[in-house]
Amino acid sequence: MAHTVRLTYDDGIAVLTLNRPAHRNALTETLAEEFQDAVSEVKEQSDAGCLILTGAGNAFCAGADLNMLSDWMNQDTKTLEQTLNRFYDAYLTLTHLKIPVIAGINGPAIGAGATLTMACDIRLAGSGAKMGFTFIRLGLNPGMASEALLSRVVGPARAMELLMSGMVFSAEQALAFGVVNRVIPQDQLTAHTFALAKQIAAMPSQPIRVIKHLTYQAPSLTLKELARAQAHEQSLCYEGPDVAEGIRAVQERRDPRFHL
């Protein structure tokens, strides 16, 4: 029975909560296994239109559990590398989801916790949240593909500044850096996060998944290649009922009633 994560569903929205509030939701190997299982369950839930990732209590995630890091010091290099590969792979399963993932950053998101928000597609931060990619302060280069995940959000120069300095910054600074999409008053974060998730989940699932896929593929494609991929995917959209409904809704000046 999972206990370090909690997975619930609410009106087509999956909510995955890191559930170690007494430890500020610090990541452990057990949490990694349960996190991976929860993401796999969401992946198999055809009726989940969006996933919200958040933390229990007053923190999003304080990073890797320090007791675990101390234990890792007793492993030989080869064994530790294998341990790290399993650990990273478990959390990066989040990036395999085709549905949108929204991070509701309800408190401090530090180290691997900050990187976990970067593995999400959209980030909303409570006004009291703090963030920091603090691996360097432990004498470590970043893990969990931090360089790639952060660079695609803020660009390589800003990513190197944040990763190399290990600075901890406020929610307002995170917004200025481009790390988060919005800063929400702390007591309104949950409501705003759910509202956005439901707005997205109310849209037709096929183009939503295409938008997510092509947004991440776009940097490696030429404009012509991207336009060709768009044409292919749009032609498939026309096979379903949603395009006709969207056109009728515009003509009738009403909200569309998509087939979800």
The 10s digit of each residue's pLDDT in 60-78 is: 999 999 999 999 999 999 9
Co-location of 215 and 158 in the same domain: no
> Is the domain of 168 the same as that of 180?
yes
Q: Is the pLDDT of residue 241 over 70?
A: yes
Helix axes 205-217, 223-237, angle to 10 degrees: 170
Bridge partners, 14 (sequence order): 9, 51
pLDDT recorded at residue 2: 60
- In the 8-state DSSP scheme, what is residue 157? H
Q: Identify whether residues 115 and 232 lie together within a single domain.
A: no
Report the pLDDT averaged over residues 3-25: 96
Q: Are 111 and 219 members of one domain?
A: no
Distance CA 164, CA 150 (A): 12
Domain presence at residue 132: yes
Q: What is the mean pLDDT of residues 14-23?
A: 97
**Residue 189 falls inside a structural domain:** yes
Neighbours of 229 (CB within 10 A): 16
Q: Print the domain residue range for 247.
A: 205-251
For residue 136, give the DSSP letter.
Answer: G
Domain count, the chain: 2
> Do 126 and 227 lie in a common domain?
no
Nearest to 174 by CA among 125, 133, 213: 125
Of 201, 216, 242, the last residue of a domain is 201
What's the whole-number mean pLDDT along residues 126-139?
97
Q: Examine residue 256 and state whether it is found in any structural domain, yes or no.
A: no
**Same-domain check for residues 162 and 233:** no
Q: Would you say 90 and 36 are in contact if contact means Cβ atoms under 8 Å apart?
A: yes
Q: Is residue 68 part of a domain?
A: yes
Residue 108 belongs to some domain of the structure? yes
Q: How confident is the model at residue 257 (pLDDT cuts 50, 70, 90)?
A: confident
User: How does pLDDT run across 47-62, given as a tens digit for each residue?
Assistant: 899 999 999 999 999 9
Residue 259 falls within a domain, yes or no?
A: no
Amino acid at 64: A
Instruction: Look up residue 113 and give its two tokens.
Output: 């916790």
69 occurs within a structural domain: yes
Which one of 183, 201, 219 terminates a domain? 201
Do 191 and 89 share a domain, yes or no?
yes
**Domain CATH code at residue 179:** 3.90.226.10
Write down the pLDDT at residue 22: 96
Same domain, 77 and 164: yes
pLDDT of residue 260: 62
- Residue 84 domain-assigned (yes or no): yes
> Quick one: 131 and 146 in the same domain?
yes
214 pLDDT tier (thresholds 50, 70, 90): very high
For residues 174 and 45, membership in a common domain is answered with yes
Same domain, 247 and 134: no
Cβ-proximal residues to 131 (8 Å cutoff; 6+ apart), any chain:
105, 108, 109, 110, 114, 117, 125, 168, 169, 171, 174, 179, 180
Average pLDDT over residues 163-175: 98
Whether pTM exceeds 0.85: yes
Shared-domain flag, residues 95 and 221: no
Give the Å distances, CA to CA, from 217 to 210, 223, 227, 234. 10, 11, 12, 16
